[in-house]
Amino acid sequence: MSNQPGSKRRKTALITGASGGIGYELAKLFARDGYDLVLVARSESKLMQLEAELKERFSTSVIVLVKDLSKPSSPTEIFAQLQTQSVRVDVLVNNAGFGGYGLFGQTDLTMELEMMQVNMVSLTHLTKLFLKDMLAQGEGKILNLASTAAFQPGPLMAVYFATKAYVLSFSEALAEELRGSGVTVTALCPGPTATGFKKRAALEASKLFTGQVMDSETVAKLGYRGLFNKQTVVVTGLRNQIMAFSVRFVPRDMLTQAVKRMQDSN
């Protein structure tokens, strides 16, 4: 990293869940625009492939951190390692996350606790750790991956929808707290997106992914633009924007029933 005294410091973006999907596409956008990168994910092989690609295409500096954010110690380990290397993070992208499908009474508790750890707790922990330096410098950006799932309850994905509601609420509240500080917070809220999410969440049979879905490159570009335009909430696509706006006018019980029908595989 070019963060040495006496040199013009290149800015650094840390991206979790960088090995595929939206995180992978965001990494390319930051590298294209001259950022050094810290890439975090569980898959070492995928991260190494991405590192090689970014160095070849953009001549950017890359630090690869193989971490599982379902483990509570991971955020502290990430922060400590970067502190040791004197790396200052200018942009934090909390992209890592996953979902699960099924009736709550029948789904796996261990998986859901890990989901909550990754989607909410690690996101909050990383934000707490890196925000302090951003505030001290008077500038910084935080991009949190929420979802259109954040705008309503989600039967058959009850825990996942709840985690994304947390991310959206947390991001909006933090954005207001930080107003005027030089640090901005953006919640990216995509709808169904062509990533590895569907397979990991066992959503192949759900109606949710049977229609037209947005590709991860488009979602990343919209989120990236919104981040630099200092938007607090970015909902990707007109259809998703209409849905996110209209749910406030629908009675909650009717809305919840409609979401269940949409997600049901029968």
State both tokens at 108: 């796996």
pLDDT at residue 98, rounded to an integer? 95
Distance CA 252, CA 245 (A): 14
The pLDDT tens digits for 32-83 are 999 999 999 999 999 999 999 999 999 999 999 999 999 999 999 999 999 9
* Helix intervals (H) in 150-237: 158-177, 197-200, 216-228
Catalytic residue flag (residue 24): no
Q: What is the full DSSP assignment across 171-195?
A: HHHHHHHTTTTTEEEEEEE--SEES
Mean pLDDT of the 137-145 span: 98
User: Which range is least confidently modeled, 2-6, 74-78, 178-182, 191-195?
Assistant: 2-6
Looking at every residue in the chain, the average pLDDT score rounds to 90
Q: Which of 24, 35, 101, 160 is catalytic?
A: 160
Q: How far is CA 157 from the centre of its chain?
A: 18
| pTM of the full structure | 0.89
For residue 172, is it left (φ>0), alpha (ψ between -120 and 50) or beta? alpha
What CATH number matches the domain at 12-263, 3.40.50.2300, 3.40.50.300, 3.40.190.10, 3.40.50.720? 3.40.50.720
Place 2 in a pLDDT band, splitting at 50, 70 and 90.
very low
Total Cβ atoms within 10 A of residue 262:
15
Say whether pLDDT at 146 is over 50: yes
- Burial grade of 145 (CB within 10 A; 0-12, 13-18, 19 or more): buried
Name the percent of the chain lying above pLDDT 90: 77
